[in-house]
Structure 1
Amino acid sequence: MYQSILRALTALPHRGAATPEGSEAARLLQDYLANLGADVRTEPFQTPKTYVTIIYWLMGGLLTGLALLPVTGVAIGLVLYFIVLAWRYFNWQYSFIIKFPVQHTAHNVIGRWPARRTGEGTRKVILMAHYDTAPVSLLYSPGQQTNFRTSLIISLLLMALAGVVAMLEVAGAGRPYVTYIRYGLMVYFAFQAMIGTLGYWLKGYTNGASDNATGVAAALATADRLQQLQLPDLTIEVVLTSAEEAGMIGAYYYVEAHKKEWKRNQTMVVNFDTLGAGTLTVVEQTGTLDVIRYKNEPTQLAKELVATDAFRGRAQVGRWHTADFDSVWFVRNRIPVLTLCALAADGRMPRIHQPDDTLDQVETGPVDTAVDLAEAVVERWVAGRQQISVLGK
């Protein structure tokens, strides 16, 4: 049943956050959710259109501070400020850099089916996927993707070195060698900013069939399946976020807006991301320097199911350290979350952030398995919660 929304989303040239095409995708999703019988709303938020803006602010601020050091020692504050912003952003923590100009309005699209019964035993499942598409990136090319984390860690460590160099330069220590190192770092950061954004200027956005029209399709198909089960105490919410490709920004604002409403022992989240090729993977670990571990009930249930006959050979457990997922904000707020993606045998996500991420390249097997596994996890979770409730009485 998800083929129609896959075709509709990929018929657009792209779905960039806060672009006309992104707005059209949001409209299509609202109509689709309404046809499924959901109560539909959108939640606007402010965001840069792409990570390109953020990279230019981070590298530009750092370069400006390093360039001004011979003029004024105050520039060391500028250097350290942008190092902190970069460390937080690239370790997938909240960074104020996401609020820097220029800001645009994007929308999360939300569909909700309230529980048929209300009371203390009511549970909530949030089915999540981002619908925006990424800029084309040279850093995600097949030869570079596996080295992405290493490259990012090297850049972060060199930023830390830049902070030390800035302090030595202001103190007048180690000259002229410290000055030479400062110049070398400036060249490196300028080169990284160019390489990290050149793909966007040359090729624009990806079509985003696998990343992440497939995830959207899986979230919608799972919601439809769960509706058919008619679990009376279960509220189902589909959350389709924008600006994930700018730094999981839509998901950040969604979690911040609603986390106080959720009871952790009665809420679970399933995040679907990039299911178009490879083997369905239950994500147990992500992160750059700051390792993010998915140690929670729905992930454990999924890992147990992967070992059963129903999913043996169809799904696996794995790790993903190339960027991160919308689910990072749930992990950081200790909200139980399961993240599903598809990985090739070498651990890569084929074609992500590349011009050939198109519908004709999508394999539907991982999408089908993701829907089956998500449904099974929710059923087990609900049954377990019901048993705990009965024992509690």
Structure 2
Amino acid sequence: MLGKVETLKAVLALLHLPHRGSATPEEAEAFRRLRAFLEARGEAVETLPFRGVRSYGPELLGISLLLALSPLSPIFPLLGALAFFLYFQGYRPWGFLLDRHPSQNLLAWKGEGKRALVLLAHVDTAKTFFLYHPKRVRGFRQSFLLNATLAFLSPLLALTPLKWPLGLYFLLQAGLLLHREVRAPYVEGGNDNASGVAVATALFLETKPPKGWRLGLALTGCEEVGALGAKALARHLPPGTLVLNLDNVGRGELFYAEGEGMLRYTPYHGPLLEAARRTPGARPLRYRLAYFDALPLAQRGFPTLTLIRLDGGVPPDWHWPTDTFARLDLNALAETLTYGQALLARVWGSPWDGVLA
């Protein structure tokens, strides 16, 4: 059996590809390597295929174009505002038209019992964008709120002379998104999210669940394009499964998210959150910057918790070409693993039968 640090290094080596872009051949290769690694250690692994997209750009581009048509009719910005709200709440009623590229999740279980806890981490990486530049990224939330405000006001502004600058603003945004689709590369993704995959996998391999518990490992695809892997995973989890999500844990200060939501806030609940509040080593966080794979599961009622490391309020090297394996802090990974072990021990040692039933 490999030691903890050796396991972390071994998983990171598996994921060290030029990128692991959502629903790309490189993502598929990363999953192939991970499955072989787990099976070589005696774990039974199930592949759960689904279809997704390779970038969120076309969807946001389409929304921006609807909003850019404000000078023509209030109907277009009304549709754009509705689509904006749905997308950033995690709903894609148009997804069946776009989800054409194969992706997958890996799911492994160990132990026996009626109670279940799954360790969750996404494998894929994102394309970069100018908003993630180190000089701009700390204003990412403000940029999003500005867009949201303009989008939701656009049906009213379309009835005023302000419809012309509003339309020009969103037309420029559509142009920037088109440029991103054509020219922007996928990032290497050492921190986001090879770090989370390494910690989740090591925690799974190094942990023996107690009697009455099943411990799962769920590695997902297409998180960066709408948490599509987590949505596909939900129907494969037993009702009431506890979900511990690990995302961007390779550098910075450790936090546990108490909830998340770019628009409406979804609070987490359940034994993992209560355990985190009583386990030293991480600070609480209301995460409003983006979304995690945990969001669609929390929206479906699963008791959920996310661990993340931040530097100055944002994930280090977030969606920028500097997010490389060379910039990972192995001590941060090991400390996150130790904290995860303490969380599991506290959950398994606490009398929360009524919550978990």
TM-score scaled by length of structure 2:
0.91
Residue 44 in structure 1 maps to residue 49 in structure 2: yes
Label 1:44 to 1:68 Cα distance change in 2 as closer, same or farther (>3 A). farther
Q: Does 1:251 align with 2:223?
A: no
**Larger fraction in helix:** 1
Residue 257 of structure 2 corresponds to 283
The alpha-carbon distance between structure 1 residues 37 and 102, as it changes in their structure 2 partners (threshold 3 A), is closer
Distance 1:219 1:200 in 2: 31
Question: What letter is aligned with 2:55?
Answer: T
Say if 2:117 and 2:244, in contact at 8 Å, map to a contact too: yes
What is the CA deviation profile of residues 233-253 of structure 1, one whole-angstrom value per residue up to 9, with x for unaligned ones? 221211111111111111122
Residues 1:371 and 2:337 aligned together: yes
- Offset at residue 107 of structure 1 (A): 0.8
Shift of 1:29: 1.2
Q: For residues 142 and 285 of structure 2, what CA distance do their matches in structure 1 show?
A: 18
Tell me, yes or no, if the aligned pair for 1:225 and 1:375 is still in contact at 8 Å: no
The one-letter amino acid paired with 1:189 is F
Deviations 1:82-140 (A, max 9, x none): 321211212x332324444362121112222242xx4xxx2111100000001012112
| Equivalence for 2:28 | 23
Letter in 1 for 2:226: G
Question: 2:78 aligned with 1:104, yes or no?
Answer: no
Deviation at 1:339, TM superposition (A): 0.3
TM-aligned CA distance change 1:20 to 1:197, over 3 Å: same
1:63 corresponds in structure 2 to 68
Say yes or no: does 1:322 pair with 2:289. Answer: yes
Mapped to 2, the partners of 1:62 and 1:101 lie a distance apart of 20
- Using the aligned pairs only, state the percent identity: 29
Give the corresponding residue for 1:192.
Answer: 173
Name the CA distance, whole Å, in 1 between partners of 2:187 and 2:25: 15
Aligned to 2:305: 338
Partner of 2:115: 123
- TM-score between the two structures when normalised by the length of structure 1: 0.83
Q: Which runs of 5+ in 1 are unaligned?
A: 70-75, 169-177
Aligned pairs for 1:1-393 (under 5 A) are 1-10=7-16, 12-64=17-69, 66=70, 68-69=72-73, 76-90=74-88, 92-101=89-98, 103-115=100-112, 118=113, 122-166=114-158, 168=159, 178=160, 180-196=161-177, 198-199=179-180, 201-227=182-208, 230-255=209-234, 257-258=235-236, 261-262=238-239, 264=240, 267-306=241-280, 311=281, 315-344=282-311, 346-385=312-351, 388=353
Q: Could you tell me whether the CA contact under 8 Å between 1:248 and 1:325 is conserved in 2?
A: yes
Q: Which amino acid aligns with 1:191?
A: L
How many residues align? The count is 349
Range 1-10 or range 97-106, more displaced: 97-106
CA deviation digits over 1:307-334, x for unaligned, max 9? xxxx3xxx32233321111111122122
SS in 1 for 2:224: helix
Matched residue SS, 2:167: helix
Q: Which amino acid aligns with 2:40?
A: N
SS class of match (1:187): helix
- In structure 2, what residue type is equivalent to 1:164? L
- The structure with the larger Rg is 1
